[in-house]
Structure 1
Amino acid sequence: MTSVRANGVELGTEHFGRADDPLILLVGGTTMLTWPDGLCARLASAGRRVVRYDLRDCGASTTLDPENPGYELRDLAADAAALVEALGARSAQLGGIGVGGMVAQVAALDHPETFSALTLVGTRPVAPGPADADLPDHDPAVMSALFSRPLPDWTDRDAVAAFAAAGAGLLGNDPEQARATAVRIWDRTPSNDPAVHAANQLGMVFSRIDCAPRWRHRLGELGVPALVVHGRADPFFPVGNGEALAAEIPSARLLVLDDMGTALRDSASDRIAAAMLDL
């Protein structure tokens, strides 16, 4: 892992593969660990340079005040484009998961010369907040159960891990994978501030940034190959969101994974890598 300065901020990155291979840049959603190690390694073994990174106010990237972020969605999109240049590449295949998928969509639209292909996982074509009328919103029963739980002591590593594992089943995810990821995120959080730990674990900073203007009506402008991956068991962004993305991006194809919820499962790494390499 290393820090790379791009667009005026330090972005925490991790590199897989050879520096002279074609670049795949993976946007954290919000931390880089939302992209499984096995998937990154599989892509690298196929001759790709893979770099996954943390968004601002997450992980090893510049962290100021996650509760009052002083930047917008388009700043995060500009970070992605600037990072490609800072890494010495002319262009990159771009991947985003969850809220990172929103960053990836805007980055590909705003910087078409920088990104040669797009992978969008478990995301939707509108910002956090109310969904468009034709898009399925969060499952209300799941959201009620998820957000009615008492929050852990964010400075207690074991409590945070148990909280993540307990919520995983509601989100269609693997509890043990969620526990292990939460521990890794906790261990690499550079502050013991509870607000920073909460931001790293929950990605709540994204609900506090300005995501205007809308970009859904621009998706038809995307002229690069695109892969949309979505879990059929995703209650947060139900699969209709992925179907809408695939329908509105001209060169997109849809890969629906029946046993996937909100998170990429380690067990699906080979299948997803093969689809990404086929772009």
Structure 2
Amino acid sequence: MTTERLLPVNGVELCVQTFGDPAAPVLLLIGGAEASMDWWDDELCERLASGGRHVVRYDTRDTGRSTTFPPGAPPYDADALLGDAVGLLDALGAQAAHLVGISMGGGLAQRLAVHHPARVASLTLIATSPAGPGGPGRPDLPPMSAELAARFAEGGDEPPDWADREAVIAYYVRGEHTYAGTLPVDEQRIRRIAGRAWDRSASPASAQNHWQIEGGEPVRARLGEIAAPTLVLHGTADPLFPYGHGEALAREIPGARLVPLDGMGHQMPPPEVWDTVVAEILAISGPRPSPSGTSRQQAGDVGVRREVRP
């Protein structure tokens, strides 16, 4: 594992950390809304790297040590977050990467695969959706659970005092219980991650800006254009994007493989499912047979260019 470093990307600085051999195929982890890189667990990253991948995790703008903006006034839109992911590949000298996106990050990964197909060697989508939960014009997608809908109707969880470390940790622990599936919540683990995220953040409250940004052209109608090998990992007990959302992605992206994660909710994969998650991601991002039938590294399976070593 390398130390964190700041890279200039699209007029902001993104904090990046890498695991594994810099010459190995790049695996770019794209987090969900308001989530710093800390939520990609160290051990999970190390297990992926030990499979021969150069794993890259980063703080999206307004999280962690990346550039932050005043809470409540984000001067950017969803397209900027997409541009950040592409710009990060440029900054790393990566011609293409194997993308792993979760929730909002899964939406960004879908858009990147549609608009920048040459940059995507493979696509892994976790706990995400082709269009969002139910609603007008989307009757084929199941709505969020009745319990979660009722919680939203009541106003959801009251935001904490973002300057109070313990209050923020408790807020994220409550959130984990809200979105978890049937697997038990390891509160000590969530407290550790949330505490580290708070410690690393220049402005913990700014992460809430992700809920206020707009923009981002829907790409559901273009999912059939995605040519990259695609893996869909979806919790069977996801209360926000029920399992039907994962099924829809697998139907609409040609050749996509759908793998259920038993008992997982709308959350970062907990350790109980890591064996499956790691094996499946390494499989989708591995070398594939060439048209001639001989095994080789495909053009998409490039790592960082030799002259640029993170």
Normalised by the length of structure 1, the TM-score is 0.90
User: Which one is further off, 237-246 or 265-274?
Assistant: 265-274
Structure 2 counterpart of 1:252:
256
Q: Which amino acid aligns with 2:69?
A: L
The share of aligned pairs that are identical, in percent, is 44
Q: Is the 8 A contact 1:24 1:48 kept in 2?
A: yes
Structure 2 counterpart of 1:261:
265
Q: For 2:117, what is the secondary structure of its paired residue? A: coil
Note the alpha carbon deviations across 1:204-247, whole angstroms, 9 max, x for none.
43332223421100100000001111111111111111111111
User: Pick from 150, 153, 157: which aligns with 2:161?
Assistant: 153
User: Pick from 1, 5, 10: which aligns with 1:7?
Assistant: 10
Structure 2 counterpart of 1:270:
275
Superposition deviation, residue 267 in structure 1: 2.8
Q: 1:151 to 1:85 in 2, by over 3 A?
A: closer
Structure 2 counterpart of 1:133:
139
Q: Does 1:18 align with 2:26?
A: no
Superposition deviation, residue 167 in structure 1: 3.2
Q: Does 1:189 align with 2:201?
A: yes
CA distance in 2, matches of 1:66, 1:51: 27
CA distance in 2, matches of 1:152, 1:135: 32
Superposition deviation, residue 270 in structure 1: 2.6
CA distance in 2, matches of 1:198, 1:123: 24
Count of matched residue pairs: 271
Superposition deviation, residue 66 in structure 1: 4.3
Q: How does 1:94-243 map to 2 (within 5 A)?
A: 94-126=99-131, 130=135, 132-145=138-151, 147-172=155-180, 174-176=185-187, 177-191=189-203, 197-200=204-207, 204-243=208-247
Q: 1:226 to 1:137 in 2, by over 3 A?
A: same
User: Which one is further off, 61-70 or 117-126?
Assistant: 61-70
Structural RMSD (CA): 2.0
CA distance in 2, matches of 1:66, 1:109: 31
Q: Which amino acid aligns with 1:136?
A: P
Q: 1:65 to 1:251 in 2, by over 3 A?
A: farther
CA distance in 2, matches of 1:158, 1:246: 40
User: Which one is further off, 265-274 or 87-96?
Assistant: 265-274
Q: Which amino acid aligns with 1:219?
A: L
Superposition deviation, residue 108 in structure 1: 1.4
Q: Which amino acid aligns with 1:229?
A: L
Q: 1:211 to 1:266 in 2, by over 3 A?
A: farther
Q: Which has the higher contact order (CA 8 A, sep 6+)?
A: 2
Normalised by the length of structure 2, the TM-score is 0.81
Structure 1: 5+ residue stretches without partners: 192-196
User: Pick from 98, 115, 119: which aligns with 1:93?
Assistant: 98
Q: Is the 8 A contact 1:95 1:120 kept in 2?
A: yes
Q: Is the 8 A contact 2:180 2:266 kept in 1?
A: yes
User: Pick from 18, 27, 31: which aligns with 2:30?
Assistant: 27
User: Which one is further off, 109-118 or 133-142?
Assistant: 133-142
CA distance in 2, matches of 1:68, 1:155: 18
User: Which one is further off, 143-152 or 204-213?
Assistant: 143-152
Q: Is the 8 A contact 2:134 2:140 kept in 1?
A: no
Structure 1 counterpart of 2:76:
71
CA distance in 2, matches of 1:141, 1:160: 23
CA distance in 2, matches of 1:56, 1:168: 22
Note the alpha carbon deviations across 1:166-218, whole angstroms, 9 max, x for none.
33222116241332221121111113xxxxx2443xxx433322234211001
Q: Is the 8 A contact 1:28 1:96 kept in 2?
A: yes
Q: 1:107 to 1:2 in 2, by over 3 A?
A: same
Note the alpha carbon deviations across 1:58-93, whole angstroms, 9 max, x for none.
212111234222222222112111211211121110
CA distance in 2, matches of 1:88, 1:58: 23
Superposition deviation, residue 129 in structure 1: 9.2
Q: Is the 8 A contact 2:133 2:143 kept in 1?
A: no
CA distance in 2, matches of 1:167, 1:93: 29
Q: Is the 8 A contact 2:134 2:144 kept in 1?
A: no
Structure 1 counterpart of 2:67:
62
